[in-house]
Structure 1
Amino acid sequence: MEFLRTPDERFANLPGYPFAPHYVQVDDSEGGSLRMHYLDEGPAGAPVVLMLHGEPSWSYLYRKMIPIVTAAGYRVIAPDLIGFGKSDKPTQRTDYTYQRHVDWVRSLLRQLALKDMTLVCQDWGGLIGLRLAGEHPDWFARVVAANTMLPTGDHHPGEAFLKWQAFSQKTPVFGVGFIVMGGCATPMAPEVIAAYDAPFPDESYKEGARQFPLLVPVTPEDPAAPANRAAWETLMKFDKPFLCAFSDKDPITAKAAPVLQKLIPGCAGQPHTTIENGGHFLQEDQGEKLAEVVVAFIRG
């Protein structure tokens, strides 16, 4: 599998991102391997909080949350999905599949021998993380779902998502920083926009970002639908603590929280919250608030 690797100098002096890089090699399923980047912050032996980003962001999205969670005594693992951040970026659209994304994150978790994790997931972080929670429920102690869902293609995805999907395929320049800004409820400084653009020197690095919207199951016949349905069979028996912490200004996932709360037993009796003045990327808008919710949930 051919891939590109973003030069390290692209990540120099990013605002609010002083974290040391860590890497593992994951199987590309074609006889080679890809380098996957992750952050590992906080006490080595502390309970693990796994933070999974979505589309088209990277671990930079969690920079406001990580110091608060580690200061509370927890270890944060925040990977960059393959195709994003400091991770390798396969060059062909067909290199990216839902199953491969799940397998790549699964490989990371196995190599780090992580257990009893608190999963914090948003956007595609949930499509991957909730799938893994369904396939490996024993790996997770609790889940925080923020602006995400595990779709099976059996229900209409909503007009807002379909508009985003169409835009992602038609726009000649996939402006990652401006896309993130468009999904926020609060202004973003130019240097922050540039930080979201940093992993992508030009359009050739964005094949994974371009492909992600097409990988969301929107029909019952989608290749990922059977595996997601199987994961749901487990999630509908998942009785460990499960918290919905959605924002108040996200048209794409607004209807998902009630569904999760209805179907997942672990949601019962939990302090589900709506975080005010947060868009789709609530970690960017209200990262400190979400971090406080996560810490309180773990301690509670």
Structure 2
Amino acid sequence: MSPALPPALKTLMPPVQTAQVNGIEMAYYEAGPKDGPAIVLCHGFPETAFSWRNQIPALAAAGYRVIAPDQRGYGLTRGPEAVADYDMAHLTGDLVGLLDHLGLEKAVFCGHDWGGFVVWQMPLTHPDRCAGVIGLNTPFLPRYPAEPISLFRQIYGPDMYIVWFQTPEEPDRVLADDVAKTMAFFMRKPAALREAGEKKEGGSSFAFAQALAAYDPATDANQFLSAEEMAVFVALFEHSGFTGGINWYRNFTRNWENGADLPTRIDHIPCLMIMAEKDAVLPPSMADKMGDHVSDLEKVLVTDSGHWTQQEQPDAVNGHIIDWMRRRFPA
């Protein structure tokens, strides 16, 4: 059963649509001319398609066909129970299925945070369906030299959130215990999120479980969303829970194993990397060596933005995307 949709979801987004895609029913939002170049916007964690509410109308007005799905396990898109059904093969397969449903041969794929990892896989796994890639905060990274969870535990400590997310059930329950508190903790201004990721008294970096336990939203002046916008995220995660999104993280090792034979470079596909100056999770320095692996690459920096770039600095993000799209994919 779908939740009662908060007013801001209806007023700030196009009407929700659904499609039978790759074994699931996917919710998505669409705007712009049907004959315009297509761009698919892929959100991260913990977000939904609603995080693109400021990009959808701007891109549509510029002549582009914009599609923003609630990805597998998020928002109004229900996900399966098996953890393995959230691996990269399924996530990229969902996007291919969405193109098939819409009758599209190709699209530009734009992804933020976890959505960025997915869209950077599209030219490696489905190059015939990928016209271009835009990474927002998330750079293209070569395959890890060793099993990634062991690396994260060694570098960041046992309580680092990605390591913690490997624990069955506990993270799901902790985040869902008070959804309003959880979303307020994550959706904060750059300095607050950076502080939450810092190592405390010899502990782990990005130990979000401990930071969330100590967090008091009543004393927090670092929110950047309006009350109406926050209400949408809270309602959607109260509906979906966090297990689907956490299951993406539980496939880090499986994705690493299955990616051993994938190409190591992206050639002949236009790519744009949009970095955020104050992102503590995905800092601009992570994109320093992208040119070694991506042949057709442009890089731009959004100043005074933390991790939630398309929501913190929507005008800057819209400007960079539209400028690049107009030069590489004229409407």
TM surpasses 0.5: yes
2:249 aligns with: 213
2:123 pairs with 133, 137, 141, which one? 133
Structure 1: how far apart are the matches of 2:160 and 2:2?
30
Compared CA separation, residues 162 and 145, structure 1 to 2 (3 A): farther
Counterpart for residue 165 of structure 1: 162
**Larger deviation: 106-115 or 80-89?**
106-115
The residue number in structure 2 matching 1:280 is 307
| Residue-by-residue CA offset, 1:96-133 (whole Å, 9 max, x unaligned) | 33332222222212222323422211111122211122
TM-score, with length taken from structure 1: 0.82
Contact 1:131–1:228 (8 Å) recurs in 2:
no
Verify the 8 A CA contact 2:122 2:130 in the aligned structure 1.
Answer: no
Unaligned segments of structure 2, at least 5 residues: 192-222
Q: Sequence identity, in percent?
A: 23
Taking the aligned partners of 1:229 and 1:265, their CA distance within structure 2 comes to: 21
Displacement after TM superposition at 1:166 (Å): 4.6
Alpha-carbon distance in 2 for matches of 1:72, 1:145: 20
Q: Distance in 1 between matches of 2:271 and 2:157?
A: 26
What is the TM-score normalised by the length of structure 2?
A: 0.75
Task: Give the total of aligned pairs.
Answer: 279
Q: 1:251 aligns with which of 235, 257, 280?
A: 280
Distance 1:67 1:173 in 2: 31
Q: Pairwise mapping of residues 1-300 of structure 1 onto structure 2 (< 5 A)?
A: 5-7=1-3, 9-14=4-9, 17-28=12-23, 34-91=24-81, 93=83, 95-150=85-140, 152-154=143-145, 156=151, 159=156, 163-166=160-163, 168=165, 172-174=174-176, 175=179, 177-182=183-188, 187-201=224-238, 205-216=241-252, 222-233=253-264, 236-254=265-283, 255-267=285-297, 270=298, 272-300=299-327
Question: What is the alpha-carbon distance in structure 2 between the residues aligned to residue 260 and residue 161 of structure 1?
Answer: 29
By percentage of residues, which structure has more helix? 2
Q: C-alpha displacement at 1:26, in angstroms?
A: 2.4
Q: Secondary structure at the match of 2:39?
A: strand
1:281 is displaced (CA, Å) by: 1.5
Task: Report SS of the residue matched to 1:198.
Answer: helix
Check the 8 A contact 1:184/1:284 in 2, yes or no: no
Q: CA RMSD in A?
A: 2.7
SS in structure 2 at match of 1:187: coil
Note if contact 1:200-1:206 (Cα within 8 Å) is conserved in structure 2.
yes
Question: Are the equivalent residues in 2 in contact too, given 1:160–1:251 (CA < 8 A)?
Answer: no
CA distance in 2, matches of 1:283, 1:231: 30
C-alpha change, 1:294 and 1:13, in structure 2 (3 Å) is closer
Shift of 1:52: 0.8
- Pair member with larger Rg: 2
Contact 2:140 2:287 in 1 (8 A): no
Structure 1: 5+ residue stretches without partners = 29-33, 217-221
Kept in 2, the 8 Å contact 1:146–1:246? The answer is yes
